[in-house]
Structure 1
Amino acid sequence: MRALMAALLVLAATAAPAQAAVSRQLFVGQSNVAAWQDVTGSTRANPAGGSVYYGVRDGGFAGQSGSSSHLQYADFLTGQGKAVQVGISWKDYPPAWDGNPATQLQASRQATVDIANGRYDNQFRALTDYVNAHRGSTFLLRLDYEVSSAFHCVNGTDCSSYRNAFRHLVSLVDSRTSGGSNVKYVYHPVRGEFDKLYPGDDVVDQVGLSVFNQDLCQPFWENGTAYWNGQQNTANRTCSGYYDDIVNGNRNAIRHEYPVDLNVLRMLWWTKQHRKPMVLSEVGVQRMSGGLTGEGLQSDNDYRWFVDRLTTLLDYRGPIPNGVIDGRQTDFVGTGYDLSDVVTAVVFIDLDWRYGFDGKVGATPPFAFPSTSGWYVNSLVSRYTQGRGAFCAMLAAGFTTRCA
């Protein structure tokens, strides 16, 4: 059935030269009701959904220090008929891993092979039972996230194991949920390997992407140093690259300063060629400088700059940098590339990152990042006047969710 639908979609896509105008959805990340309340309380917006995590190792929704904040958040969302993005993870804590950091990578590779062979099918029972019990919500299932050849391909080179694992899980979930009528399958690679691990158009519904500071050509501050992604104009916080143009009948490589990471633009173009919608599955403001207030707040102007640059990515029209895609050198000619219809949903992570990847829930968070870490920053949108204004302006420019 899924293969037939894919074929029909290809025929429809062939008849339609361009995608329809985008009306984007806002999801609130991540993992707890407190994040949702901070966004809605400070903007009076009504988001379309939220984001939680599910561990293959435990066969259940992730918990926080013995609590079940992820499950509680999922219940909160489904109770309102909201959509739920579920990050299904095995690379972070592989099922047969002994906990030794030195063996994690190999354990993740082996887990990928084992999942493809059906060894851990029972670990997905709680997930499919939950989907069946909440037919009023749509579930965006990321079949692991930020997948890469390092963690998901045999010997770091043979990626058929991940493609097979993805396809097996689609078949498994479909078989347990009557064809996955309220399920969308999300392929979420690292930005530089989006083509290498792709499982195929017939099983992928959406393409996921993580967007943090460096993906928007902005600094990531860590242990006293601001790290940048590739060649930079640090004054303007732009990335440098080349595109081709025809000048006086000759092809020329034109230097250009891009507002976002070069691989991100190539990935958006590639996603559009496959006629898949993209969800920015993880979007969050990390620490950009050494200066923080006592409450962990960074510059309001930096927060605003991040959101403004995110808006630029969502509505990008312009040149695309040359690069290797699908194993071939791609020469993009001219500046007339419209990528403004690719991203259809954004999962905005609203957390006080200082207290871990779930933020602070309750009086005693499970851990805190060192004060010198790039994650040690309070990124609650409610705490940034300019940032909140930019956030609401972004929503007003094409989202189904708006600030009141």
Structure 2
Amino acid sequence: MLRKSVYSLAAVLAGLSAALGGVAQAHAGTDTQHRCVTDAKLVPSCDVLWGAAAGGFTGKPRDEELKTWERLSGRTSTIFHTYHKGDDVFPTAAEKAMTGDPAHPRVLLTNWRVDWDSTWANVAAGRLDRRIDTFAARAKAYGKKFFLVLNHEPEDDVRPRAGSGMTAKDFRASFRHVIQRLRADGVTNAVSVVAYMGNEKWMAQSWWKDLYPGDDVVDWIGLDSYVSAERNYYHNGLFGDLVDRRAPGGEGFYDWATRNHPAKPVMLAEWGVYHRVGQVVDKSAQFNSVLPALAQRPAIKAIVYFDTKKDAFGDRDISINSSARSLASFRKLAANPLFNVQVR
């Protein structure tokens, strides 16, 4: 009886050893191979792309600010977010260097205000085609795939009066014209993103539904949204609240995007956690809520942090290191393997 028990125990241990060996081998495989990779539209096969725009409203070089931010956060940003308007040279030498660094692979996410010094209606009518064609030539010469946002946060620029040239329908027509013109010019490396503010104030407007350019010209649906760490302050909440804001009686942004455009990946093209300048509040609760919220919202395939010590109005601190505890929580988030996506 004892010998039988010994043999049975030995068999169990042998089986357990084999199982653990198999698990170890599987993990060794995922450690040496990139499990999650991007496709032709930069959509990851699994997990979530990680990115940032750093040094906002400082006037400092965005590339140097991002490198500093990467060291601070503990992770290289797969997405490097930059901003252009009108006839700005694209891509800049810095953008080429940042996205051509073999030691730190990055992909460009650039916002372009094609209508700068003009109107959406003029863009749609073809009056800025020379500007578009110049951009197209530069984009083709650049060669690498990149995300292209056209006039992010259009809600804030809408002038609903007929004939203003800046109605929601004018934006839609402008976006469509630019993407179609770029394609006609032979641009194949631009991945289009329409990036909303997603504020409940704007979502309640009758014209909000007219902004969407159409599934045929939109590759990703983006959102620029922020949340406050201060209790009883504007938009206090957790990460999920960034994408779930809704007009009274309406549906949240994430639900709207996934119900109406289920084939489109969702990107937080800008996100951040703020408190008032000089009113330091620990942001750990917000940073700790990111992973659970993403698990519940699988259509979100990219998140891009916007880091600045002062916003456009000078009164909100959106930095990850406004307190030591906030930074520690953010570094823990940044270290998560969910963001180990390889761009190809």
Normalising by structure 2, we get a TM-score of 0.68
C-alpha spacing 1:374/1:287, structure 2 compared with 1 (3 Å): farther
C-alpha spacing 1:49/1:34, structure 2 compared with 1 (3 Å): same
C-alpha spacing 1:344/1:40, structure 2 compared with 1 (3 Å): same
Moved more, 202-211 or 181-190: 181-190
Between the aligned partners of 1:258 and 1:282, the Cα distance in structure 2 is 14
Q: Map residues 320-331 of structure 1 onto 2, 5 A cutoff.
A: none
CA RMSD of aligned residues (A): 3.5
Alignment deviations for residues 318-362 of structure 1 (CA, whole Å, 9 cap, x no partner)? xxxxxxxxxxxxxxxxxxxxxx21111111123333xx66xxxxx
C-alpha spacing 1:207/1:152, structure 2 compared with 1 (3 Å): farther
Between the aligned partners of 1:152 and 1:307, the Cα distance in structure 2 is 36
Between the aligned partners of 1:32 and 1:158, the Cα distance in structure 2 is 32
C-alpha spacing 1:386/1:200, structure 2 compared with 1 (3 Å): same
Q: Counterpart of 2:332?
A: 393
Q: Counterpart of 1:172?
A: 181
The answer as to whether partners of 1:21 and 1:341 remain within 8 angstroms in 2 is: no
C-alpha spacing 1:267/1:74, structure 2 compared with 1 (3 Å): same
Quick one: which amino acid aligns to residue 60 of structure 1? D
Q: Map residues 88-107 of structure 1 onto 2, 5 A cutoff.
A: 88-89=112-113, 94-96=116-118
Structure 2: gaps spanning 5 or more residues = 1-42, 55-60
Q: Counterpart of 1:337?
A: none
Name the SS for the 2:252 alignment partner. Answer: helix
Q: Counterpart of 1:86?
A: 110
Between the aligned partners of 2:197 and 2:227, the Cα distance in structure 1 is 15
Quick one: which amino acid aligns to residue 287 of structure 2? V
Between the aligned partners of 1:378 and 1:162, the Cα distance in structure 2 is 29
Q: Map residues 4-403 of structure 1 onto 2, 5 A cutoff.
A: 22-30=46-54, 32-56=62-86, 59-61=87-89, 71-80=92-101, 82-89=106-113, 94-96=116-118, 111-135=119-143, 137-148=144-155, 151=158, 153-155=160-162, 159-176=168-185, 178=186, 180-191=187-198, 192-193=202-203, 195-213=209-227, 218-219=229-230, 227-229=233-235, 237=237, 261-263=244-246, 266-273=252-259, 274=261, 275-288=263-276, 290-291=278-279, 298-299=280-281, 301=282, 303-316=283-296, 340-353=297-310, 373-375=314-316, 377=317, 379=319, 381=320, 384-395=323-334, 396=336, 398-400=338-340
Distance apart, 1:289 and its partner CA: 6.4
Greater percentage in helix: 2
Name the SS for the 1:271 alignment partner. Answer: helix
Between the aligned partners of 2:76 and 2:107, the Cα distance in structure 1 is 12
Structure 1 segments, 4+ long, off by >4 Å, are: 257-261
Name the SS for the 1:305 alignment partner. Answer: helix
Distance apart, 1:85 and its partner CA: 0.9
Quick one: which amino acid aligns to residue 135 of structure 2? L
Alignment deviations for residues 349-398 of structure 1 (CA, whole Å, 9 cap, x no partner)? 23333xx66xxxxxxxxxxx6xxx423x371x356432233223334162
Name the SS for the 2:209 alignment partner. Answer: coil
The answer as to whether partners of 1:213 and 1:219 remain within 8 angstroms in 2 is: no
C-alpha spacing 1:258/1:349, structure 2 compared with 1 (3 Å): closer
Structure 1: gaps spanning 5 or more residues = 1-18, 63-69, 97-110, 221-225, 240-256, 292-297, 317-339, 358-368
Distance apart, 1:202 and its partner CA: 1.0
Distance apart, 1:49 and its partner CA: 2.2
Alignment deviations for residues 210-241 of structure 1 (CA, whole Å, 9 cap, x no partner)? 12125xxx549xxxxx6424xxxx7xx479xx
Between the aligned partners of 1:88 and 1:392, the Cα distance in structure 2 is 30
Alignment deviations for residues 301-334 of structure 1 (CA, whole Å, 9 cap, x no partner)? 2x32332344444333xxxxxxxxxxxxxxxxxx
Quick one: which amino acid aligns to residue 314 of structure 1? L
Quick one: which amino acid aligns to residue 120 of structure 1? L
Share of identical aligned residues, percent? 18
Between the aligned partners of 1:227 and 1:160, the Cα distance in structure 2 is 34
The answer as to whether partners of 2:193 and 2:220 remain within 8 angstroms in 1 is: yes
Alignment deviations for residues 223-268 of structure 1 (CA, whole Å, 9 cap, x no partner)? xxx6424xxxx7xx479xxxxxxxxxxxxxxxxx968653297221
Distance apart, 1:21 and its partner CA: 7.1
The answer as to whether partners of 1:55 and 1:90 remain within 8 angstroms in 2 is: yes
Normalising by structure 1, we get a TM-score of 0.59
Alignment deviations for residues 32-51 of structure 1 (CA, whole Å, 9 cap, x no partner)? 11332123212442221201
Name the SS for the 2:196 alignment partner. Answer: coil
C-alpha spacing 1:21/1:173, structure 2 compared with 1 (3 Å): closer
Quick one: which amino acid aligns to residue 346 of structure 1? I
Distance apart, 1:127 and its partner CA: 2.8
